[in-house]
Amino acid sequence: MIFNFRKANGLTENDVTDESVYKERRAILKTLGYVGAGSLLATARSANAGPFDWFNSDEASKFVTSPLDFTKAKATSDILTPEEKATTYNNFYEFGTGKGDPVEKAQDFKVNPWTLKVEGLVEKPLTLAYEDLFSMFSLEERIYRLRCVEAWSMVIPWIGFSLANIIKKAQPLSKAKYVSFQTLYDPKQMPGQSSRFIGGGVDYPYVEGLRLDEAMQPLTMLSVGMYGKTLPPQNGAPIRLVVPWKYGFKSIKSIVKIVLTDKQPPTTWQTLAADEYGFYANVNPKVDHPRWSQARERRIVSGGLFEQNRIDTLPFNGYEEVAPLYKGLDLRKFY
């Protein structure tokens, strides 16, 4: 599998540092909204020789382009979450509700062949096969914070493309106002889907939704990889959503269907407990979960049993460029 993702853009080698370097010298990583971090991947790749060597080659430089507006990128000091943490401490209830269940139970999950459909209120419905996920759009690396509604967070280098690219290709009709997403439904492979006990009482398939303008926001990403590799099954292979300014439950995994609609679609967690989980789910330190505060979070970094690094939670998880999307909306009411 060759990843054709874009090289660093608007960044110098000093702007980011990789996990192993961080471990050695506890360097502070500068995280940007948009990052194409060549330097970050150098070490990850040498540990995984093979297709990723391509990234250092001259051929890779062909992909150095700058269609995105990097001037809006916001710099903050963040430390990259070690890959080993991000791939072993997961929420993927289809494989069980324990944080260690997904890595343990998802290893035989079949991601190839895969079919992703884009349909509904569009001019040109799309059907993508596994290979298309990696070749239809140019891939880039973006380091985002992921803030779970459970008040822990990580900083993860994703690989993927803006959701807007695929939606534009399908040509939305003017009636389209929302986008709904659906995870694969396959109880034979996903034990949580055939047992309410294992699957936490969720009504499967897991579904999520965004307003169309949120879906078109360039930060909203479909991810096919992390840490320089394809996504592991426990993180939502082969393709998942990443919406960095919203609580992690919006970032639906292992997507098979994207449907444009004219009505706000139901979402799994809102259906399960509407007073606790809203449709918007924007990260907001001022609006507490009914059972716990959202003012602070536990950043999962390194060390023993998830060394605790308590930090203030930022409005929109620090991605305040999205605030205009919610002008005039009461964020307490529409949580």
**Distance of alpha carbon 63 from alpha carbon 10, whole angstroms:** 14
Residue 91 or 180 with smaller CB distance to ligand MTE = 91
Binding status of residue 232 toward ligand MTE by CB under 6 A? no
State which residue has the least CB distance to ligand MTE. 248
17 residue type, one letter: T
Q: State the burial class of residue 174 (Cβ atoms within 10 Å of its Cβ: 0-12, 13-18, 19+).
A: exposed
Minimum separation from the CB atom of position 268 to ligand MTE (A): 7
| 249 lies in the site for ligand MTE, by CB under 6 A | yes
Q: Does 158 bind ligand MTE (CB under 6 A)?
A: no
| AA identity, residue 238 | P
Closest distance of CB 266 from ligand MTE, Å = 14
Q: Is 235 in the site for ligand MTE (CB under 6 A)?
A: yes
Whole-angstrom distance, CA of residue 92 vs CA of residue 2: 27
- Classified as helix, coil or strand, 34 is coil
| CA distances in angstroms from 38 to 8, 26, 71, 155, 262, listed in the order given | 5, 20, 19, 17, 40
* 206 lies in the binding site for ligand MTE (CB under 6 A): yes
H or E element that contains 29: strand 29-31
Looking at 4-12, 162-170, 245-253, 319-327, which segment touches ligand MTE (CB under 6 A)?
245-253
State in angstroms the smallest separation of the CB of 306 from ligand MTE: 13
Q: Shortest Cβ distance from residue 41 to ligand MTE (Å)?
A: 19
Considering the rule CB under 6 A, would residue 142 count as an interface residue with ligand MTE? no
Smallest gap from Cβ 207 to ligand MTE, in A, equals 9
Instruction: Give yes or no for residue 183 binding ligand MTE (CB under 6 A).
Output: yes
DSSP 251-307: S--SEEEEEEESSPPP-HHHHH-TTT--SS-B--TTS-BTTB--SEEEE--STTTT-
Q: CB under 6 A: which stretch of 35-43, 210-218, 252-260, 307-315 binds ligand MTE?
A: 252-260
* Nearest-angstrom CA–CA distance, 24 and 29: 13
The residue among 55 and 249 lying less far from ligand MTE, judged by its C-beta, is 249
Report d(CA 268, CA 250) in Å as an integer: 9
* Of 253 and 299, CB closest to ligand MTE: 253
In the complex, least distance from residue 281 CB atom to ligand MTE, rounded to whole angstroms: 10
Q: Is 5 in the site for ligand MTE (CB under 6 A)?
A: no
Q: Which stretches of 101-185 are DSSP H helices?
A: 101-105, 130-135, 163-170
Is 253 a binding residue for ligand MTE by CB under 6 A? The answer is yes
Binding site for ligand MTE (CB under 6 A): 90-94, 146, 148, 183, 206, 235, 248-249, 251-254
